[in-house]
Amino acid sequence: MTQTDHAGHIVSDADFRLFQRLFDDSIGLNLTSHKKLLLSGRLGKRVAKLGLSGFHEYYQHLASGKDPEEFQLAIDLITTHETFFFRENHHFHLLRDKIAPEAPSGRNLRVWSAACSTGEEAWSIAMVLRHVLGVTGWTLVASDVSRSVVVKAARGLYAMDRISGIPPEYLKAYCLKGQKEYEGMLLVERSLRDMVDFHTVNLLEIPPEFKEFDVVFLRNVIIYFDAPTKERVLRSVCQTIRPDGWLLLGHSESLAGMDLPLRQIRPSVYRRTN
- Can you give 213-234 as a three-state secondary structure string? EEEEEECCCHHHCCHHHHHHHH
Task: Note down pLDDT in tens along the chain; length 274 residues.
Answer: 333 345 557 899 999 999 999 999 988 888 888 889 989 999 999 999 999 999 999 999 999 999 999 998 898 888 866 789 999 999 999 999 999 999 988 999 999 999 999 999 999 999 999 999 999 999 999 999 999 999 999 999 999 988 889 999 999 999 999 888 889 999 999 999 999 999 999 999 999 999 999 999 999 899 888 889 999 999 999 999 999 999 999 988 889 889 999 999 999 999 999 8
Identify which of 71, 96, 192 has the alpha carbon closest to the alpha carbon of residue 142. 192
Fold observed for domain 3-78: Chemotaxis Receptor Methyltransferase Cher; domain 1 (1.10.155)
Phi, psi of 50 (to 5 degrees): -85, -5
The DSSP code for 12 is P
pLDDT of residue 1: 39
Q: How many residues does the chain have?
A: 274
CA distance between the termini of the chain:
58
The DSSP output letter for 65 is S
Q: State residue 2's pLDDT score.
A: 39
Beta-bridge mates of residue 113: 142, 217
CATH number of 90-272: 3.40.50.150
Q: Give the C-alpha distances (Å, rounded to integers) separating 86 from 41, 95, 132, 172, 274.
A: 31, 12, 16, 16, 30
Residue 8: per-residue pLDDT = 56
> CB within 8 A of 6, min separation 6: which ones?
44, 45, 47, 48, 52, 54, 55
pLDDT of residue 82: 72
Distance CA 83, CA 185 (A): 17
For the stretch 88-113, what's the b/e string if a residue is b when 16 or more beta carbons lie within 10 angstroms of its beta carbon? beebbebbbeebbeebeeeeebbbbb
Same topology for domains 3-78 and 90-272, yes or no? no
Q: What's the CA gap between 6 and 39, in Å, rounded?
A: 12
Q: How confident is the model at residue 256, as a pLDDT? A: 85
pLDDT at 4: 38
Q: Which has the closest alpha carbon to 74: 42, 49, 52? A: 42
Sequence ranges of the domains in the chain = 3-78, 90-272
CA–CA distance, 96 with 215 (Å, rounded to integer) = 12
Active site residues: 42, 144
